[in-house]
Structure 1
Amino acid sequence: MKYVDDINLFKPNKDFVAEIDMTGSLGRIYHYPQRMNGCLFLLCLRGECDITIHLSEYKIQKNDIVTILPETFVHIHRQSPDCRLYMVGFNKELLNGINFFNSTMNYLSALIDTPIIPLRPEITELFQDYFMLLIKMKRIGSKPNKDLISTIFLSILHGVGSIHQNTSVATRTFNRGEEIVKRLVQYIIKHYTKERSVAFYADLLHISPQHLSTTVNKVTGKTVTDIIAKLVITDAEAKLKSTDLTIQEIAYSLNFPDISFFGKYFKRYTGMSPKQYRENG
Protein backbone atom coordinates (compact mmCIF):
# COMPACT_ATOMS: atom_id res chain seq x y z
CA MET A 1 0.00 0.00 0.00
CA LYS A 2 1.34 3.46 -0.86
CA TYR A 3 1.10 6.05 1.90
CA VAL A 4 0.87 9.80 1.58
CA ASP A 5 4.27 11.46 1.23
CA ASP A 6 5.43 14.99 0.44
CA ILE A 7 2.97 15.44 -2.40
CA ASN A 8 1.46 18.31 -4.32
CA LEU A 9 -2.18 17.44 -3.68
CA PHE A 10 -3.79 19.09 -6.66
CA LYS A 11 -1.56 19.19 -9.71
CA PRO A 12 -3.39 20.38 -12.84
CA ASN A 13 -3.11 16.98 -14.54
CA LYS A 14 -4.60 15.12 -11.57
CA ASP A 15 -8.38 14.93 -11.18
CA PHE A 16 -8.01 13.39 -7.74
CA VAL A 17 -5.60 12.15 -5.11
CA ALA A 18 -6.24 9.26 -2.75
CA GLU A 19 -3.85 8.16 -0.03
CA ILE A 20 -3.56 6.73 3.48
CA ASP A 21 -1.55 8.61 6.08
CA MET A 22 -0.19 6.43 8.89
CA THR A 23 3.03 8.33 9.55
CA GLY A 24 1.94 11.95 10.09
CA SER A 25 2.96 13.03 6.60
CA LEU A 26 -0.19 15.10 6.09
CA GLY A 27 0.76 17.12 9.16
CA ARG A 28 4.19 17.77 7.68
CA ILE A 29 2.61 19.01 4.44
CA TYR A 30 0.22 21.33 6.30
CA HIS A 31 2.50 22.30 9.19
CA TYR A 32 1.91 25.91 8.17
CA PRO A 33 -1.34 27.42 6.81
CA GLN A 34 -2.13 26.66 3.19
CA ARG A 35 -5.11 27.54 1.04
CA MET A 36 -6.91 24.46 -0.28
CA ASN A 37 -7.10 24.61 -4.07
CA GLY A 38 -9.54 21.73 -4.37
CA CYS A 39 -11.96 19.81 -2.15
CA LEU A 40 -10.42 17.48 0.43
CA PHE A 41 -12.07 14.76 2.54
CA LEU A 42 -10.37 13.16 5.53
CA LEU A 43 -11.66 10.04 7.29
CA CYS A 44 -10.14 9.25 10.68
CA LEU A 45 -9.93 5.55 11.55
CA ARG A 46 -7.91 5.95 14.73
CA GLY A 47 -5.94 8.45 16.78
CA GLU A 48 -6.32 12.23 16.90
CA CYS A 49 -5.39 15.27 14.83
CA ASP A 50 -5.52 18.95 15.83
CA ILE A 51 -6.38 21.15 12.86
CA THR A 52 -7.32 24.75 12.09
CA ILE A 53 -9.81 25.25 9.27
CA HIS A 54 -10.07 28.92 8.36
CA LEU A 55 -10.28 30.62 11.77
CA SER A 56 -11.54 27.73 13.89
CA GLU A 57 -9.60 25.02 15.72
CA TYR A 58 -10.87 21.43 15.78
CA LYS A 59 -9.85 18.01 17.01
CA ILE A 60 -10.29 15.14 14.53
CA GLN A 61 -11.00 11.81 16.24
CA LYS A 62 -11.86 8.24 15.34
CA ASN A 63 -14.91 7.95 13.02
CA ASP A 64 -14.84 11.66 12.11
CA ILE A 65 -15.17 12.75 8.50
CA VAL A 66 -13.77 16.14 7.50
CA THR A 67 -14.83 18.22 4.50
CA ILE A 68 -12.38 20.97 3.52
CA LEU A 69 -13.85 23.18 0.82
CA PRO A 70 -11.97 25.04 -1.94
CA GLU A 71 -10.21 28.29 -0.93
CA THR A 72 -10.24 27.26 2.74
CA PHE A 73 -7.09 27.75 4.83
CA VAL A 74 -5.84 24.57 6.51
CA HIS A 75 -3.20 24.15 9.21
CA ILE A 76 -2.48 20.86 10.98
CA HIS A 77 -0.92 21.41 14.41
CA ARG A 78 -0.53 17.87 15.68
CA GLN A 79 -1.17 14.24 14.79
CA SER A 80 -1.02 11.58 17.48
CA PRO A 81 1.50 8.76 16.79
CA ASP A 82 -1.36 6.31 16.16
CA CYS A 83 -3.31 8.66 13.87
CA ARG A 84 -4.56 6.98 10.71
CA LEU A 85 -6.26 9.20 8.14
CA TYR A 86 -7.74 8.25 4.78
CA MET A 87 -7.58 11.16 2.37
CA VAL A 88 -9.23 11.84 -0.97
CA GLY A 89 -9.06 15.15 -2.79
CA PHE A 90 -10.48 16.50 -6.02
CA ASN A 91 -9.05 19.41 -7.97
CA LYS A 92 -10.84 22.60 -8.96
CA GLU A 93 -11.07 21.68 -12.64
CA LEU A 94 -13.12 18.60 -11.74
CA LEU A 95 -15.32 20.66 -9.41
CA ASN A 96 -15.93 23.28 -12.08
CA GLY A 97 -17.02 20.53 -14.47
CA ILE A 98 -19.83 19.42 -12.16
CA ASN A 99 -20.92 22.91 -11.04
CA PHE A 100 -19.77 22.25 -7.49
CA PHE A 101 -21.49 25.12 -5.69
CA ASN A 102 -24.88 24.42 -7.25
CA SER A 103 -24.47 20.77 -6.25
CA THR A 104 -23.92 21.73 -2.62
CA MET A 105 -26.39 24.61 -2.33
CA ASN A 106 -28.72 22.84 0.12
CA TYR A 107 -26.02 22.11 2.69
CA LEU A 108 -23.08 24.38 1.81
CA SER A 109 -23.66 26.59 4.87
CA ALA A 110 -23.62 23.50 7.13
CA LEU A 111 -20.35 22.30 5.58
CA ILE A 112 -18.78 25.71 6.22
CA ASP A 113 -20.07 25.96 9.81
CA THR A 114 -19.33 22.32 10.72
CA PRO A 115 -16.56 20.85 8.57
CA ILE A 116 -16.07 17.88 10.93
CA ILE A 117 -18.86 15.48 11.86
CA PRO A 118 -18.79 12.20 13.80
CA LEU A 119 -20.04 9.05 12.09
CA ARG A 120 -21.48 5.83 13.41
CA PRO A 121 -18.95 2.99 12.91
CA GLU A 122 -21.06 1.34 10.21
CA ILE A 123 -21.27 4.64 8.29
CA THR A 124 -17.51 5.05 8.61
CA GLU A 125 -17.14 1.67 6.90
CA LEU A 126 -19.32 2.82 3.99
CA PHE A 127 -17.19 5.94 3.44
CA GLN A 128 -14.05 3.83 3.82
CA ASP A 129 -15.24 1.70 0.89
CA TYR A 130 -15.45 4.81 -1.33
CA PHE A 131 -12.01 5.98 -0.19
CA MET A 132 -10.47 2.54 -0.81
CA LEU A 133 -12.03 2.38 -4.27
CA LEU A 134 -10.28 5.63 -5.21
CA ILE A 135 -7.01 4.45 -3.65
CA LYS A 136 -7.16 1.26 -5.72
CA MET A 137 -7.99 3.22 -8.88
CA LYS A 138 -4.97 5.43 -8.26
CA ARG A 139 -2.74 2.38 -7.82
CA ILE A 140 -3.78 1.01 -11.21
CA GLY A 141 -1.86 3.85 -12.79
CA SER A 142 -3.89 4.37 -15.98
CA LYS A 143 -5.91 7.55 -16.29
CA PRO A 144 -9.39 6.86 -14.82
CA ASN A 145 -12.63 7.92 -16.43
CA LYS A 146 -13.44 11.49 -15.38
CA ASP A 147 -17.20 10.82 -15.27
CA LEU A 148 -16.61 7.95 -12.85
CA ILE A 149 -14.41 10.11 -10.62
CA SER A 150 -17.06 12.85 -10.64
CA THR A 151 -19.74 10.31 -9.69
CA ILE A 152 -17.69 9.03 -6.73
CA PHE A 153 -16.93 12.58 -5.61
CA LEU A 154 -20.61 13.53 -5.67
CA SER A 155 -21.51 10.34 -3.81
CA ILE A 156 -19.12 11.24 -0.98
CA LEU A 157 -20.21 14.88 -0.98
CA HIS A 158 -23.94 14.14 -0.99
CA GLY A 159 -23.38 11.47 1.65
CA VAL A 160 -21.79 14.02 3.97
CA GLY A 161 -24.47 16.57 3.08
CA SER A 162 -27.23 14.08 3.83
CA ILE A 163 -25.77 13.44 7.29
CA HIS A 164 -25.75 17.18 7.92
CA GLN A 165 -29.38 17.47 6.88
CA ASN A 166 -30.51 14.57 9.05
CA THR A 167 -28.70 15.32 12.30
CA SER A 168 -28.77 18.09 14.85
CA VAL A 169 -25.25 19.14 13.74
CA ALA A 170 -26.73 20.89 10.73
CA THR A 171 -29.62 22.50 12.61
CA ARG A 172 -27.84 24.15 15.50
CA THR A 173 -29.45 27.45 16.42
CA PHE A 174 -27.44 30.54 17.28
CA ASN A 175 -28.30 33.35 19.66
CA ARG A 176 -28.22 36.90 18.35
CA GLY A 177 -24.59 37.52 19.33
CA GLU A 178 -23.37 34.22 17.85
CA GLU A 179 -25.28 34.94 14.65
CA ILE A 180 -23.57 38.33 14.33
CA VAL A 181 -20.14 36.73 14.80
CA LYS A 182 -20.97 33.99 12.32
CA ARG A 183 -22.02 36.50 9.66
CA LEU A 184 -19.05 38.73 10.47
CA VAL A 185 -16.61 35.86 9.80
CA GLN A 186 -18.38 35.11 6.51
CA TYR A 187 -18.00 38.76 5.47
CA ILE A 188 -14.35 38.86 6.56
CA ILE A 189 -13.57 35.75 4.51
CA LYS A 190 -15.12 37.49 1.50
CA HIS A 191 -13.56 40.93 1.94
CA TYR A 192 -10.40 40.67 4.07
CA THR A 193 -8.00 41.25 1.16
CA LYS A 194 -9.52 44.69 0.62
CA GLU A 195 -11.18 45.81 3.85
CA ARG A 196 -9.86 45.83 7.43
CA SER A 197 -12.08 48.55 8.90
CA VAL A 198 -14.46 47.68 11.75
CA ALA A 199 -16.86 50.31 10.40
CA PHE A 200 -16.99 48.57 7.01
CA TYR A 201 -18.14 45.28 8.53
CA ALA A 202 -20.51 46.99 10.96
CA ASP A 203 -22.15 48.70 7.99
CA LEU A 204 -22.59 45.35 6.20
CA LEU A 205 -24.24 43.97 9.34
CA HIS A 206 -26.42 47.10 9.78
CA ILE A 207 -25.21 47.73 13.32
CA SER A 208 -22.93 50.34 14.88
CA PRO A 209 -19.18 49.70 15.14
CA GLN A 210 -19.46 49.90 18.93
CA HIS A 211 -22.26 47.31 18.99
CA LEU A 212 -20.23 45.03 16.73
CA SER A 213 -17.07 45.37 18.83
CA THR A 214 -18.92 44.75 22.10
CA THR A 215 -20.76 41.72 20.72
CA VAL A 216 -17.66 40.12 19.21
CA ASN A 217 -15.67 40.59 22.41
CA LYS A 218 -18.49 39.12 24.52
CA VAL A 219 -18.90 36.04 22.28
CA THR A 220 -15.26 35.33 21.38
CA GLY A 221 -13.09 37.25 23.84
CA LYS A 222 -11.36 38.83 20.84
CA THR A 223 -11.61 42.13 19.00
CA VAL A 224 -12.94 42.51 15.46
CA THR A 225 -9.46 43.65 14.43
CA ASP A 226 -7.96 40.45 15.87
CA ILE A 227 -10.31 38.29 13.81
CA ILE A 228 -9.58 40.23 10.63
CA ALA A 229 -5.84 40.09 11.32
CA LYS A 230 -5.98 36.32 11.91
CA LEU A 231 -7.19 35.73 8.35
CA VAL A 232 -4.87 38.34 6.81
CA ILE A 233 -1.85 36.82 8.58
CA THR A 234 -2.94 33.28 7.70
CA ASP A 235 -3.11 34.25 4.03
CA ALA A 236 0.25 36.01 4.22
CA GLU A 237 1.88 33.00 5.91
CA ALA A 238 0.47 30.66 3.27
CA LYS A 239 1.80 32.82 0.44
CA LEU A 240 5.20 33.23 2.06
CA LYS A 241 5.64 29.48 2.48
CA SER A 242 3.91 27.98 -0.54
CA THR A 243 4.38 30.50 -3.37
CA ASP A 244 7.28 32.24 -5.12
CA LEU A 245 5.60 35.65 -4.86
CA THR A 246 7.91 38.39 -3.67
CA ILE A 247 7.14 39.98 -0.33
CA GLN A 248 6.15 43.13 -2.16
CA GLU A 249 3.72 41.19 -4.37
CA ILE A 250 2.21 39.55 -1.29
CA ALA A 251 1.84 42.95 0.37
CA TYR A 252 0.01 44.33 -2.67
CA SER A 253 -2.19 41.23 -2.96
CA LEU A 254 -3.43 41.92 0.58
CA ASN A 255 -4.01 45.61 -0.17
CA PHE A 256 -1.15 47.03 1.91
CA PRO A 257 0.11 50.38 0.57
CA ASP A 258 3.76 49.31 0.66
CA ILE A 259 6.13 46.60 1.85
CA SER A 260 7.10 48.57 4.97
CA PHE A 261 3.53 48.81 6.25
CA PHE A 262 2.98 45.13 5.52
CA GLY A 263 6.18 44.20 7.36
CA LYS A 264 5.19 46.12 10.49
CA TYR A 265 1.68 44.61 10.44
CA PHE A 266 3.02 41.09 9.99
CA LYS A 267 5.62 41.47 12.76
CA ARG A 268 3.02 42.87 15.17
CA TYR A 269 1.06 39.60 15.00
CA THR A 270 3.83 37.03 14.44
CA GLY A 271 6.87 38.49 16.18
CA MET A 272 9.01 38.24 13.05
CA SER A 273 9.37 39.93 9.69
CA PRO A 274 7.91 38.35 6.51
CA LYS A 275 11.48 37.61 5.37
CA GLN A 276 12.32 35.88 8.66
CA TYR A 277 9.11 33.85 8.49
CA ARG A 278 9.82 32.72 4.93
CA GLU A 279 13.38 31.68 5.79
CA ASN A 280 12.46 30.00 9.07
CA GLY A 281 11.99 26.50 7.66
Structure 2
Amino acid sequence: MEKVTDNEKIVYKDDRMIILDNSNVTDTLNTSPIKSEWFVALLCIEGESTIYINNKMYSIHKNDFLLCHPQTIFEHKITNLDFKYCGFFLSPEYVKQISLISSNSWNAILFIENNPIIALDEKESSLFLQYYNLIRSKFETESQHHLKQLIDMLLQAFIYEFHDSMEKRIKIDPPQYNSANNLFISFLDILVNSYPKQRSVSYYAEKLFVTPKYLSAICKEISGETASDLITRYVKKDIENLLKQPNKTIKEIVNELDFANLSFFGKYVKRIFGVSPKEYRENIKYYF
Protein backbone atom coordinates (compact mmCIF):
# COMPACT_ATOMS: atom_id res chain seq x y z
CA MET A 1 0.00 0.00 0.00
CA GLU A 2 1.22 3.49 -0.78
CA LYS A 3 -0.11 6.83 0.43
CA VAL A 4 0.63 9.88 -1.72
CA THR A 5 0.81 13.48 -0.52
CA ASP A 6 -2.39 15.51 -0.64
CA ASN A 7 -1.17 18.02 -3.21
CA GLU A 8 -0.94 15.30 -5.87
CA LYS A 9 -3.79 13.91 -7.94
CA ILE A 10 -3.26 10.40 -6.57
CA VAL A 11 -4.25 10.26 -2.91
CA TYR A 12 -3.66 6.53 -2.50
CA LYS A 13 -2.75 3.55 -4.63
CA ASP A 14 -2.07 -0.15 -4.39
CA ASP A 15 -2.53 -3.13 -6.71
CA ARG A 16 -6.32 -3.03 -6.17
CA MET A 17 -7.29 0.63 -6.35
CA ILE A 18 -6.23 4.19 -6.96
CA ILE A 19 -7.98 7.06 -5.20
CA LEU A 20 -7.91 10.32 -7.18
CA ASP A 21 -8.57 13.88 -6.06
CA ASN A 22 -7.78 16.55 -8.62
CA SER A 23 -8.83 19.79 -6.97
CA ASN A 24 -6.42 22.13 -8.71
CA VAL A 25 -6.10 21.83 -12.48
CA THR A 26 -3.73 24.60 -13.44
CA ASP A 27 -3.62 24.42 -17.21
CA THR A 28 -5.30 23.21 -20.37
CA LEU A 29 -4.72 19.54 -21.08
CA ASN A 30 -4.04 18.23 -24.57
CA THR A 31 -2.69 14.72 -24.30
CA SER A 32 -2.32 11.77 -26.61
CA PRO A 33 -4.86 8.96 -26.26
CA ILE A 34 -4.32 6.59 -23.35
CA LYS A 35 -5.95 3.26 -22.58
CA SER A 36 -7.11 2.49 -19.07
CA GLU A 37 -6.54 -1.07 -17.88
CA TRP A 38 -8.84 -0.58 -14.86
CA PHE A 39 -12.44 0.36 -14.14
CA VAL A 40 -12.83 4.14 -13.87
CA ALA A 41 -15.38 5.84 -11.59
CA LEU A 42 -14.97 9.63 -11.36
CA LEU A 43 -17.35 12.39 -10.30
CA CYS A 44 -17.06 15.98 -11.54
CA ILE A 45 -17.61 18.19 -8.50
CA GLU A 46 -16.96 21.55 -10.15
CA GLY A 47 -16.27 23.13 -13.54
CA GLU A 48 -16.28 21.31 -16.86
CA SER A 49 -14.01 19.43 -19.23
CA THR A 50 -14.03 18.06 -22.77
CA ILE A 51 -12.79 14.52 -23.24
CA TYR A 52 -12.78 11.88 -25.96
CA ILE A 53 -13.85 8.42 -24.82
CA ASN A 54 -13.37 5.66 -27.38
CA ASN A 55 -13.00 8.39 -30.03
CA LYS A 56 -16.28 10.12 -29.19
CA MET A 57 -16.39 13.61 -27.69
CA TYR A 58 -18.10 14.24 -24.35
CA SER A 59 -18.50 17.29 -22.15
CA ILE A 60 -18.33 16.71 -18.40
CA HIS A 61 -20.05 19.10 -16.01
CA LYS A 62 -20.76 19.27 -12.30
CA ASN A 63 -22.44 16.11 -10.96
CA ASP A 64 -21.56 14.12 -14.10
CA PHE A 65 -20.29 10.63 -13.26
CA LEU A 66 -17.75 9.02 -15.57
CA LEU A 67 -17.95 5.23 -15.48
CA CYS A 68 -15.87 3.12 -17.87
CA HIS A 69 -14.80 -0.48 -18.27
CA PRO A 70 -11.16 -1.56 -18.71
CA GLN A 71 -9.63 -1.04 -22.16
CA THR A 72 -11.44 2.29 -22.57
CA ILE A 73 -9.48 4.85 -24.59
CA PHE A 74 -9.31 8.38 -23.19
CA GLU A 75 -8.04 11.63 -24.63
CA HIS A 76 -8.25 14.84 -22.60
CA LYS A 77 -8.72 18.00 -24.62
CA ILE A 78 -9.95 21.14 -22.87
CA THR A 79 -10.23 21.54 -19.12
CA ASN A 80 -11.44 24.69 -17.38
CA LEU A 81 -9.30 26.08 -14.59
CA ASP A 82 -12.04 25.37 -12.05
CA PHE A 83 -12.48 21.74 -13.08
CA LYS A 84 -12.42 19.42 -10.06
CA TYR A 85 -13.08 15.70 -9.77
CA CYS A 86 -12.61 12.79 -7.43
CA GLY A 87 -13.09 9.05 -7.62
CA PHE A 88 -11.50 5.66 -8.06
CA PHE A 89 -9.65 3.38 -10.44
CA LEU A 90 -10.36 -0.26 -9.57
CA SER A 91 -8.54 -3.27 -10.98
CA PRO A 92 -10.69 -5.83 -12.87
CA GLU A 93 -9.62 -8.56 -10.46
CA TYR A 94 -10.64 -6.50 -7.46
CA VAL A 95 -14.03 -5.61 -8.95
CA LYS A 96 -14.73 -9.32 -9.46
CA GLN A 97 -13.90 -9.97 -5.80
CA ILE A 98 -16.12 -7.26 -4.33
CA SER A 99 -19.06 -7.27 -6.76
CA LEU A 100 -21.85 -9.08 -4.97
CA ILE A 101 -24.39 -7.72 -7.42
CA SER A 102 -24.15 -9.12 -10.90
CA SER A 103 -22.08 -6.99 -13.25
CA ASN A 104 -22.67 -9.48 -16.03
CA SER A 105 -25.89 -8.09 -17.44
CA TRP A 106 -25.28 -7.51 -21.13
CA ASN A 107 -27.72 -4.61 -21.35
CA ALA A 108 -25.96 -2.91 -18.41
CA ILE A 109 -22.54 -3.48 -20.00
CA LEU A 110 -23.81 -2.04 -23.28
CA PHE A 111 -25.47 0.91 -21.54
CA ILE A 112 -22.22 1.89 -19.81
CA GLU A 113 -20.24 1.51 -23.04
CA ASN A 114 -22.71 3.76 -24.87
CA ASN A 115 -23.19 6.17 -21.93
CA PRO A 116 -19.86 6.58 -20.12
CA ILE A 117 -21.02 9.94 -18.74
CA ILE A 118 -24.06 9.70 -16.45
CA ALA A 119 -25.69 12.85 -15.12
CA LEU A 120 -26.40 12.39 -11.41
CA ASP A 121 -28.87 14.41 -9.42
CA GLU A 122 -27.77 16.29 -6.30
CA LYS A 123 -28.78 13.45 -4.00
CA GLU A 124 -26.87 10.83 -6.01
CA SER A 125 -23.82 13.07 -6.26
CA SER A 126 -23.88 13.74 -2.52
CA LEU A 127 -24.15 10.00 -1.84
CA PHE A 128 -21.07 9.25 -3.96
CA LEU A 129 -19.10 11.95 -2.12
CA GLN A 130 -20.13 10.48 1.24
CA TYR A 131 -18.70 7.09 0.26
CA TYR A 132 -15.65 8.64 -1.36
CA ASN A 133 -14.78 10.79 1.66
CA LEU A 134 -15.38 7.92 4.08
CA ILE A 135 -13.16 5.53 2.11
CA ARG A 136 -10.50 8.19 1.71
CA SER A 137 -10.57 8.97 5.44
CA LYS A 138 -9.85 5.32 6.27
CA PHE A 139 -6.49 5.57 4.50
CA GLU A 140 -5.62 8.82 6.26
CA THR A 141 -6.07 7.44 9.77
CA GLU A 142 -3.62 5.26 11.64
CA SER A 143 -3.29 1.71 10.42
CA GLN A 144 -6.29 -0.47 11.19
CA HIS A 145 -6.17 -4.24 11.49
CA HIS A 146 -9.27 -4.73 9.33
CA LEU A 147 -8.65 -1.89 6.87
CA LYS A 148 -8.93 -4.06 3.76
CA GLN A 149 -12.18 -5.62 4.92
CA LEU A 150 -13.59 -2.17 5.78
CA ILE A 151 -12.76 -0.81 2.32
CA ASP A 152 -14.23 -3.90 0.65
CA MET A 153 -17.48 -3.49 2.57
CA LEU A 154 -17.75 0.23 1.83
CA LEU A 155 -17.20 -0.31 -1.89
CA GLN A 156 -19.72 -3.15 -1.90
CA ALA A 157 -22.25 -0.86 -0.24
CA PHE A 158 -21.61 1.82 -2.84
CA ILE A 159 -22.09 -0.73 -5.65
CA TYR A 160 -25.51 -1.60 -4.22
CA GLU A 161 -26.43 2.08 -4.03
CA PHE A 162 -25.22 2.73 -7.56
CA HIS A 163 -27.06 -0.33 -8.85
CA ASP A 164 -30.29 1.16 -7.48
CA SER A 165 -29.56 4.47 -9.23
CA MET A 166 -28.83 2.69 -12.51
CA GLU A 167 -32.20 0.96 -12.37
CA LYS A 168 -33.85 4.38 -12.70
CA ARG A 169 -32.20 4.74 -16.10
CA ILE A 170 -32.17 1.23 -17.54
CA LYS A 171 -33.80 -2.10 -16.89
CA ILE A 172 -31.01 -4.27 -15.52
CA ASP A 173 -31.56 -7.97 -16.03
CA PRO A 174 -31.39 -9.96 -12.79
CA PRO A 175 -28.22 -11.99 -12.19
CA GLN A 176 -28.02 -15.17 -14.23
CA TYR A 177 -25.78 -17.91 -12.89
CA ASN A 178 -26.48 -20.58 -15.48
CA SER A 179 -23.74 -22.11 -17.61
CA ALA A 180 -24.73 -20.20 -20.76
CA ASN A 181 -24.47 -16.79 -19.15
CA ASN A 182 -21.24 -17.73 -17.37
CA LEU A 183 -19.77 -18.77 -20.71
CA PHE A 184 -20.86 -15.51 -22.34
CA ILE A 185 -19.34 -13.37 -19.58
CA SER A 186 -16.11 -15.40 -19.66
CA PHE A 187 -15.91 -14.83 -23.41
CA LEU A 188 -16.43 -11.07 -22.97
CA ASP A 189 -13.85 -10.99 -20.20
CA ILE A 190 -11.19 -12.55 -22.44
CA LEU A 191 -12.17 -10.42 -25.43
CA VAL A 192 -12.36 -7.04 -23.70
CA ASN A 193 -9.24 -7.47 -21.58
CA SER A 194 -6.91 -8.81 -24.27
CA TYR A 195 -4.66 -6.77 -26.56
CA PRO A 196 -4.09 -7.22 -29.38
CA LYS A 197 -7.39 -9.03 -29.79
CA GLN A 198 -7.55 -12.32 -31.62
CA ARG A 199 -10.12 -12.17 -34.42
CA SER A 200 -10.93 -15.87 -34.67
CA VAL A 201 -13.96 -17.29 -32.86
CA SER A 202 -12.15 -20.60 -32.59
CA TYR A 203 -9.41 -18.95 -30.49
CA TYR A 204 -11.91 -18.00 -27.77
CA ALA A 205 -13.87 -21.23 -28.09
CA GLU A 206 -10.70 -23.25 -27.50
CA LYS A 207 -9.88 -21.22 -24.38
CA LEU A 208 -13.41 -21.80 -23.09
CA PHE A 209 -13.47 -25.52 -24.01
CA VAL A 210 -16.49 -25.27 -26.31
CA THR A 211 -17.02 -25.40 -30.05
CA PRO A 212 -17.07 -22.14 -32.09
CA LYS A 213 -20.63 -22.93 -33.18
CA TYR A 214 -21.83 -23.32 -29.60
CA LEU A 215 -20.07 -20.13 -28.46
CA SER A 216 -21.66 -18.14 -31.28
CA ALA A 217 -25.09 -19.59 -30.51
CA ILE A 218 -24.80 -18.57 -26.84
CA CYS A 219 -23.62 -15.07 -27.76
CA LYS A 220 -26.53 -14.67 -30.18
CA GLU A 221 -29.02 -15.90 -27.58
CA ILE A 222 -27.84 -13.52 -24.84
CA SER A 223 -26.70 -10.42 -26.72
CA GLY A 224 -28.37 -10.68 -30.11
CA GLU A 225 -24.93 -10.68 -31.74
CA THR A 226 -22.75 -13.59 -32.80
CA ALA A 227 -19.29 -14.12 -31.32
CA SER A 228 -17.82 -12.85 -34.59
CA ASP A 229 -19.95 -9.68 -34.39
CA LEU A 230 -18.75 -9.00 -30.86
CA ILE A 231 -15.12 -9.59 -31.79
CA THR A 232 -15.45 -7.15 -34.68
CA ARG A 233 -17.10 -4.58 -32.39
CA TYR A 234 -14.08 -4.48 -30.07
CA VAL A 235 -11.38 -4.86 -32.73
CA LYS A 236 -12.99 -1.92 -34.55
CA LYS A 237 -12.46 0.27 -31.48
CA ASP A 238 -8.77 -0.59 -31.39
CA ILE A 239 -8.36 0.15 -35.09
CA GLU A 240 -10.19 3.48 -34.78
CA ASN A 241 -7.98 4.54 -31.91
CA LEU A 242 -4.76 3.75 -33.75
CA LEU A 243 -5.84 5.24 -37.07
CA LYS A 244 -6.64 8.48 -35.26
CA GLN A 245 -3.07 8.72 -34.00
CA PRO A 246 -1.11 10.50 -36.75
CA ASN A 247 2.22 9.41 -35.28
CA LYS A 248 1.37 5.77 -36.03
CA THR A 249 2.14 4.46 -39.51
CA ILE A 250 -0.19 1.93 -41.10
CA LYS A 251 2.58 -0.65 -40.96
CA GLU A 252 3.06 -0.04 -37.24
CA ILE A 253 -0.67 -0.51 -36.69
CA VAL A 254 -0.61 -3.76 -38.67
CA ASN A 255 2.16 -5.07 -36.44
CA GLU A 256 0.61 -3.81 -33.20
CA LEU A 257 -2.76 -5.43 -33.91
CA ASP A 258 -1.14 -8.65 -35.13
CA PHE A 259 -2.44 -8.65 -38.70
CA ALA A 260 -0.61 -10.88 -41.16
CA ASN A 261 0.26 -8.09 -43.61
CA LEU A 262 -0.77 -4.69 -44.97
CA SER A 263 -3.01 -6.20 -47.63
CA PHE A 264 -5.05 -8.26 -45.17
CA PHE A 265 -5.38 -5.29 -42.82
CA GLY A 266 -6.53 -3.07 -45.68
CA LYS A 267 -9.25 -5.56 -46.67
CA TYR A 268 -10.38 -5.93 -43.04
CA VAL A 269 -10.64 -2.15 -42.58
CA LYS A 270 -12.44 -1.79 -45.92
CA ARG A 271 -14.99 -4.40 -44.83
CA ILE A 272 -15.85 -2.82 -41.47
CA PHE A 273 -15.42 0.89 -42.31
CA GLY A 274 -16.23 0.93 -46.01
CA VAL A 275 -12.95 2.71 -46.83
CA SER A 276 -9.25 1.88 -46.86
CA PRO A 277 -7.02 2.80 -43.88
CA LYS A 278 -5.56 5.69 -45.88
CA GLU A 279 -8.99 6.97 -46.89
CA TYR A 280 -10.20 6.68 -43.30
CA ARG A 281 -7.34 8.89 -42.15
CA GLU A 282 -7.99 11.40 -44.89
CA ASN A 283 -11.64 11.65 -43.90
CA ILE A 284 -11.27 12.11 -40.15
CA LYS A 285 -10.46 15.30 -38.32
CA TYR A 286 -7.61 15.24 -35.87
CA TYR A 287 -8.11 17.09 -32.63
CA PHE A 288 -4.55 17.93 -31.82
1:2 matches 2:6: yes
1:65 matches 2:69: no
Q: How does 1:81-100 map to 2 (within 5 A)?
A: 81-98=81-98, 100=99
Residue 234 (structure 1) aligns with: 241
TM-score normalized by the length of structure 1: 0.59
Identity percentage over the alignment? 22
Residue 56 (structure 2) aligns with: 56
- Partner Cα separation in structure 1 for residue 134 and residue 52 of structure 2: 28
Higher relative contact order (CA 8 A, sep 6+): 1
Q: After TM superposition, give the deviation of residue 48 of structure 1 in Å.
A: 0.9
TM-score normalized by the length of structure 2: 0.58
> Does structure 2 conserve the Cα–Cα contact (< 8 Å) formed by 1:50 and 1:76?
yes
- Partner Cα separation in structure 2 for residue 72 and residue 26 of structure 1: 24
Q: After TM superposition, give the deviation of residue 254 of structure 1 in Å.
A: 1.0
1:157 matches 2:159: yes
1:255 matches 2:258: yes
- Partner Cα separation in structure 1 for residue 126 and residue 84 of structure 2: 14
Residue 139 (structure 1) aligns with: 140
- Partner Cα separation in structure 1 for residue 26 and residue 156 of structure 2: 27
- Partner Cα separation in structure 1 for residue 93 and residue 235 of structure 2: 30
Cα deviation code 1:159-217 (max 9, x no counterpart):
2222121x2x325xxxxxxxxxxxxxx9xx86994559xxxxxxx888xxxxxxxxxxx
- Partner Cα separation in structure 1 for residue 241 and residue 22 of structure 2: 25
> Does structure 1 conserve the Cα–Cα contact (< 8 Å) formed by 2:42 and 2:87?
yes
Inter-CA distance 141–248: structure 2 relative to 1 (3 Å threshold): farther
Inter-CA distance 193–16: structure 2 relative to 1 (3 Å threshold): closer
- Partner Cα separation in structure 2 for residue 25 and residue 156 of structure 1: 31
Inter-CA distance 229–14: structure 2 relative to 1 (3 Å threshold): closer
> Does structure 2 conserve the Cα–Cα contact (< 8 Å) formed by 1:55 and 1:231?
no
Q: After TM superposition, give the deviation of residue 138 of structure 1 in Å.
A: 3.4
- Partner Cα separation in structure 1 for residue 80 and residue 112 of structure 2: 25
Residue identity opposite 1:255 in structure 2: D
Larger helix proportion of the pair: 1
